[in-house]
């Protein structure tokens, strides 16, 4: 869903990437800073119930996911190491967001049910990424699906933001259901995406 907007987003990020390069900041530095920042914000803010604040701060650090690649292309230094580092650290960021949500429900959110659903969404997001990586290691394609990484991040962070604003009275109280609904969607969509990718790999292996 969101992958189609990636090209336009890269154009928006290009001036910022150029500015960082001019200050001798490297793409790897941006990758590490973005990941560490997102992980810390997710595991500090969300378990404390600081939902809307956490979602905003995580989003700021997530921007580095597009920024580091843009910087590498401007330098003409795209490499296997950069791709490997980016993909590996992405898993930490994704995992921290869902872990933070699960810890929120295990703590101030007071819901074993939604904690479990958050963990299910976490597991499926990791399996989704693994299926693609394993397929590519076998020279096959498995990028398809209704829940790509960009989709998962957008839905989870928007749901956290809306629920957080509802909890502090900025939005109507019933908006607190945004996060549970988002988690349900991501769990179902994650399972479907894994099925779609496994089916695609099976077809390619038999062709």
90 labelled catalytic: yes
Residues 6+ apart with CB under 8 A from 22: none
Whether the CB-CB separation of 159 and 181 falls below 8 Å is answered with yes
The answer to whether 35 touches 62, Cβ cutoff 8 Å, is: no
CA dihedral sign of residues 2, 31, 141, 152: negative
The conformational region for residue 203 under phi > 0 = left, psi -120 to 50 = alpha, else beta, is alpha
How far is 3 from 190, CA to CA, in rounded Å? 16
Q: Which of 65, 68, 86, 90 is catalytic?
A: 90
Alpha-carbon distance of 64 to 154, in angstroms, equals 15
Residue 139 dihedral angles phi and psi, to the nearest 5° = 65, 35
* Token code pair at residue 124: 């499926």
Distance of CA 121 to the CA centre of its chain: 12
> How far is it, in rounded angstroms, from Cα 162 to Cα 174?
10
**25: three-class secondary structure by DSSP:** coil
Which residues are the active-site residues?
Answer: 90
């Amino acid at each position: 869903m969101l992958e189609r907007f990636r090209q336009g987003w890269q154009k928006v990020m290009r001036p910022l990437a150029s500015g960082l390069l001019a200050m001798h900041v490297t793409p790897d530095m941006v990758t590490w800073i973005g990941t560490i920042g997102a992980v810390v914000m997710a595991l500090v803010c969300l378990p404390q119930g600081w939902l809307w604040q956490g979602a905003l701060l995580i989003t700021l650090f997530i921007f580095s996911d597009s920024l580091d690649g843009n910087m590498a292309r401007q330098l003409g230094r795209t490499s296997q190491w950069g791709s490997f580092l980016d993909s590996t650290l992405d898993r930490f960021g994704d995992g921290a967001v869902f872990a933070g949500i699960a810890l929120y429900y295990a703590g101030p959110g007071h819901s074993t049910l939604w904690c479990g659903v958050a963990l299910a969404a976490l597991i499926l997001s990791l399996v989704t990424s693994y299926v693609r990586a394993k397929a590519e290691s076998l020279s096959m394609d498995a990028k398809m699906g209704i829940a790509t990484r960009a989709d998962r991040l957008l839905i989870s962070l928007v749901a956290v933001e809306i629920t957080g604003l509802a909890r502090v009275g900025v939005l109507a109280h019933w908006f607190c259901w945004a996060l549970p609904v988002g988690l349900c969607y991501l769990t179902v969509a994650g399972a479907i995406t894994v099925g779609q990718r496994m089916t695609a790999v099976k077809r390619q292996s038999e062709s």
